[in-house]
């Protein structure tokens, strides 16, 4: 008896078969758009190192979130770019600060059409550019920073943020913020813990976007790129402290960590396709070296395939629009 040839290609023969056999799918609701809102401008300003991405005014941010809601994406993550910064990041807790003002405006604009989320970190608001309060010796004081995070959480929740993105990588930040919010009556405000956030070279364009004043690096609090198990440990700690969602950041070069975290997590796992990942694809596509649309789709699909329940990506609205157009055909 002749052994038959095993033919996996049968399920790749037509577009319909390929769709039916697909193990991983993308949907607009799985995408979150990072959005920069800058104080003191009256129109959107291009970010040179991130072609197609803008620093928004309040009015242009309203238009951007309305477009995002129309496309059906899951949410927007807001970052503030203030005009004045100081040692403790006072603008982060000021109700009139740009991030809190923008949050109120965008919640009013889109309501529950998508989730308005806010970055809870001090780096955009400090004159030294670090994610926390500095001690006398210039190191980041973990526990003094938690006090600022608690105040920041209350300000953001009062402004209407539905989910707070704790991105500062301070020990105990989830537990501290959760206790503070609950005591103030904000039990329903969700927490996204940037659990496995690595000290990465791929954040460069983001620092242009927020006009970072950082000197030095963040290696004393962000994770060592060589450490895989540590990413899982950080996620386990954050889940135990009450995180509603955990994050791996960056996404594309940490797919192994993402897969590990997804395998153990009892809560949703998200991943952030960061500015450097965005800029590399845009730069290569502009040179004609890669197919832009296919590269964007494949890069986000790979993050989903590795285990992300949702992806923060600067292409969120554009990618969702493509998906909607494909569905409409």
3-state DSSP assignment of residue 135:
coil
CA angle 32, 30, 185 (to 5 degrees): 65
Q: Tell me if residue 62 is catalytic.
A: no
**Catalytic choice (43, 62, 249, 293):** 249
How many Å apart are CA 168 and CA 119, to the nearest integer? Answer: 9
Angle at 49 between CA 43 and CA 55, to 5 degrees: 20
According to DSSP, residue 86 is labeled B
The residue ranges of DSSP E strands in the chain, in sequence order, are 31-38, 45-46, 54-56, 75-81, 115-120, 163-166, 190-197, 245-249, 269-272, 310-312
Q: State yes or no: is 249 an active-site residue.
A: yes
Among residues 9, 55, 7, 310, which one has the least CA distance to residue 206?
55
**How many other C-beta atoms can be found within 10 angstroms of the C-beta atom of residue 183?**
11
Residues with catalytic function: 197, 249
């Amino acid at each position: 008896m002749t052994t038959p040839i095993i033919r996996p290609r049968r399920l790749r023969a037509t577009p319909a078969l390929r769709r039916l056999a697909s193990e991983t799918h993308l949907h607009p609701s799985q995408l979150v758009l990072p959005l920069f809102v800058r104080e003191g401008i009256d129109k959107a300003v291009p970010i040179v190192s991130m072609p197609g991405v803008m620093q928004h005014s309040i009015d242009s941010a309203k238009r951007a979130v309305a477009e995002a809601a129309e496309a059906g994406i899951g949410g927007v993550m807001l970052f503030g770019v203030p005009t004045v910064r100081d040692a403790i990041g006072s603008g982060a807790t000021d109700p009139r600060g740009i991030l809190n003002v923008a949050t109120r405006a965008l919640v009013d604009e889109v309501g529950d059409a998508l989730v308005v989320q806010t970055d809870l970190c001090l780096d955009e608001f400090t004159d030294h550019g670090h994610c926390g309060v500095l001690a006398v010796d210039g190191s980041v004081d973990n526990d003094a920073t938690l006090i600022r995070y608690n105040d920041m959480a209350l300000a953001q929740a009062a402004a209407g943020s539905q989910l707070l993105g704790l991105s500062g990588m301070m020990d105990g930040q989830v537990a501290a913020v959760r206790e503070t919010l609950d005591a103030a009556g904000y039990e329903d405000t969700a927490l996204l813990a940037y659990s496995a956030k690595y000290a990465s070279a791929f954040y460069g364009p983001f620092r242009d976007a927020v006009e970072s004043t950082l000197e030095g690096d963040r290696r004393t609090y962000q994770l060592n790129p060589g450490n895989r198990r540590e990413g899982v440990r950080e996620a386990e700690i954050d889940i135990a402290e009450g995180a509603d969602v955990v994050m791996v950041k960056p996404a594309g070069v940490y797919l192994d960590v993402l897969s590990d975290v997804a395998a153990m997590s009892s809560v949703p796992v998200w991943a952030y396709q960061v500015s450097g990942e965005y800029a590399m694809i845009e730069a290569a596509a502009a040179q004609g070296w890669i197919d832009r649309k296919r590269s964007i789709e494949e890069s986000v699909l790979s993050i989903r395939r590795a285990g992300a329940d949702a992806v923060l990506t600067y292409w969120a609205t554009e990618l969702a629009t493509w998906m909607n157009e494909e569905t409409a055909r």
